[in-house]
Structure 1
């Protein structure tokens, strides 16, 4: 009887995640959770499980640095937000683990993503962006931004960092595109991930005999050679970097362009003064929060105000709600590119804060500013409210396509 009562209570909870009805605003239900339950709320996953969701900004930042919340995907209580997410969790490394293993892996990758290293890449990113915009202009309107600029730019940049040979980039892009396709289901995701793992496994073997200067080459020459990492670990690390740095950045370029075009006063300021670009990108990251939900499980009881997250409880931290907390951001639903508070959680917070955030910021600054300054009459081709919004369980929020005219 007790189990039945718990199940019935869970069924009465709000579902999570909830779909966006506007591409750049979080689900309206997240505000309702905050207003009715406070900074921590109880919600129900697709499988009927009751978990906590954190919609308060201060509470989220504190919990994301609390070692009592675990990122270990193998923990029996770890929450899964969709079957597709479960497929990805079975394939990836680094994100779904705790210290000391997470720290050791992260240390081997961080040199490729330092601010100094990314600044060295800035001319190459600008050059490739200009080439892609040149192609858009040659083709003439209409153009679809995701396929014409956002996906190829993010794919080519991560290929360059990893050391994927240029002659392989077409296959590489085809496989990564399958991960973000509109009709991608659980089996499609698995097939794409297996294809990429097979490619990366073969690439590592090639690089043992023909070393280059990418991150995979460094891991092969140093960590594989001395036995610190296996081929399987290097392949898994490369795969998670690809997934983490490809779809999120591409989604931000596409959705950031839409948000600017839908807010012409902000677009005018963004276009007019290049000095505003870095801060404007931070506001767009807060406002859009495309990498929406961080997931954790409580390894011990955690007290948050008058509430207790019990050991084994699942904890969800939706950035789109956290970054719209009015206690942290006055008028949070207003896009204000002059906003100076950049304590958003769009890249996470704490030990698992996004390794590639310097790269993502640079790509966004270059891509967005180049696009709107080189094509000053840019506009959305058709009604923005008819754009197909990604489903709530897709992981990275946003739109599949953005048709543009000028």
Structure 2
């Protein structure tokens, strides 16, 4: 690789915090060589078609974890523990995914819609009954997906404060390594106790059904596998959607004509969800992949042994795929976005996220038509140091 090596772009423009890091455009459209924060050299893919090609290619391994290239101290060559779905490939990954797919079918998730709608309405009621300003992230965006994933997994919601704090540490970048390790240990111990209880006393929830389904195949899941799966689903099931709810609300408050269109036409919600997923791309550091055999991507040969980063946020802002890509347009057909990844590792819970966001969009904004920021936009603090982008808080008020 003889091209000049740059630095992986991690910093967004403070003046445009809802846009991808400008460094992606500076890298150009080729598989640009960069040095990643963990000290690994990689190629960055920024074109939509190249990213789809790469993520669909079985010769690219996910063993390095989705975004470990920006996690200080991370070792991408560390052995993969059993059940760590996001780092597994081949038959091991396929086996676990097959066991989980029945829990996330469109039909099963649609059956949850009425309960999700009630949750949203209850939290809107609570907001309206409280004293302004309200932190929309803490009091609305975070509890709704947390309640949903707890109900799905069979996790006591009374434990939410603990796992929410642990999750925030585990998706952070550059925090105290000791605190992160302690959080990982604590959430794993919590999940191990829950799993052991469900193995002894079967329950009709996702974890309980997963235990039975695996046993019926003749390959029961081990406690270690169940703990890894449970922790992954618990964290991913609320962190991503909570940040999308808050960040979407902020984006819409910044563009009142788009918010007005959504408020007046609830049928716009499905396309609004897809467009906001594209526009915000909250997995903002992209996906990390290891090349196991030489591959051709974008007329370039990427050699076995190299690392790639699929820059989802850059692909979601490509002009050739999404005309005028920096403009938020809720009527745009954005279904080809990359927010959920692509290929065999595409997000299992994407339909659940869609339903949660749709119910928020069709209920929150019409019920509080004068919703507004309670602080200047410049005072909003963003999660620049987290693997899942969002806001730390979102103070709102209404007239």
Q: Do the two structures share a fold, i.e. TM-score over 0.5?
A: yes
Where does residue 257 of structure 1 map in the other structure? 249
- Aligned residues between the structures: 392
In structure 2, how many angstroms separate the alpha carbons of the residues matched to 1:39 and 1:156? 43
Aligned-pair CA distance for 1:265: 0.7
8 A contact 1:16–1:44 mirrored in 2 = no
- In the superposition, relative to structure 1, how do residues 205 and 79 fare at CA in structure 2: closer, same or farther (>3 Å)? closer
The residue number in structure 2 matching 1:23 is 17
| Aligned partner of 1:125 among 116, 121, 124 | 116
How far did 1:103 drift? 0.7
CA contact (8 A) 1:224 1:231 kept: no
For residues 47 and 208 of structure 1, what CA distance do their matches in structure 2 show?
Answer: 39
Q: Distance in 2 between matches of 1:145 and 1:182?
A: 24
Alignment of 1:263-302 (within 5 A): 263-292=255-284, 293-302=286-295
Q: Are the aligned partners of 1:23 and 1:255 in contact in 2 as well (CA < 8 Å)?
A: no
Deviation at 1:396, TM superposition (A): 0.8
Q: Give the TM-score taking structure 1 as reference length.
A: 0.89
Q: Name the CA distance, whole Å, in 2 between partners of 1:400 and 1:389.
A: 6
1:230 equivalent in alignment to 2:215: no
User: Residues 69 and 180 from structure 1, CA distance in 2 versus in 1: closer, same or farther, beyond 3 angstroms?
Assistant: closer
Q: Which segment drifts farther, 49-58 or 300-309?
A: 300-309
Structure 2 distance, partners of 1:93, 1:190, is 16
- 2:240 touches 2:388 (CA, 8 Å); kept in 1? yes
Equivalent of 2:389 in 397, 401, 406 = 397
CA separation of 1:117 and 1:128: change in aligned 2, threshold 3 A: same
* Distance change in 2, residues 1:29/1:183 (3 Å): closer
Q: CA deviation at 1:42?
A: 1.7
Do the aligned partners of 2:12 and 2:22 also contact (CA within 8 Å) in 1?
Answer: no
Partner of 2:44 in structure 1? 53
Deviates more, 1:247-256 or 1:363-372: 363-372
What CA distance in whole angstroms lies between the structure 1 residues aligned with 2:165 and 2:304?
42
Instruction: Write the mapping of 1:160-179 to structure 2, written as runs, cut at 5 A.
Output: 160-179=151-170
Is there any run of 5+ residues in structure 1 with no aligned partner, and where?
none
Give the C-alpha shift of residue 20 in structure 1. 4.8
* Cα distance change on mapping 1:329 and 1:202 into 2, 3 Å: same
- The residue that corresponds to 1:349 in the other structure is 342
Residue 84 and residue 325 in structure 1: after superposition, are their counterparts in 2 closer, same or farther (change >3 A)? farther
Q: Matches of 2:168 and 2:125 in 1, distance apart?
A: 22
Contact 2:71–2:174 (8 Å) recurs in 1: no
> SS of 1:361's equivalent?
helix
Deviations 1:19-74 (A, max 9, x none): 3523311111212222xxx2422221114432100100111111111122111239
Does the 8 Å contact 2:36/2:42 carry over to 1?
Answer: yes
Aligned to 1:384: 377
Structure 1 window deviating more from structure 2 (113-122 vs 214-223): it is: 214-223
For the residue of structure 2 that corresponds to 1:95, the secondary structure is: helix
Q: Does the CA-based 8 Å contact 2:51-2:311 persist in structure 1?
A: no
Say what the alpha-carbon RMSD is for the aligned residues: 2.5
Counterpart position of 2:191:
200
* CA–CA separation in structure 2 for the residues paired with 1:143 and 1:183: 29
1:116 counterpart residue number:
107
Q: Aligned to 2:390, what secondary structure does the other structure show?
A: coil
Moved over 6 A (4+): 87-92
Provide TM-score, normalisation by structure 2. 0.91
CA separation in 1, counterparts of 2:178 and 2:395? 28
Confirm or deny: 8 A CA contact 1:40 1:53 kept in the other structure.
yes
Q: Is the 8 A contact 2:281 2:312 kept in 1?
A: yes
User: Does the CA contact (< 8 Å) of 1:89 and 1:96 recur in 2?
Assistant: no
CA drift of 1:80 comes to 2.5
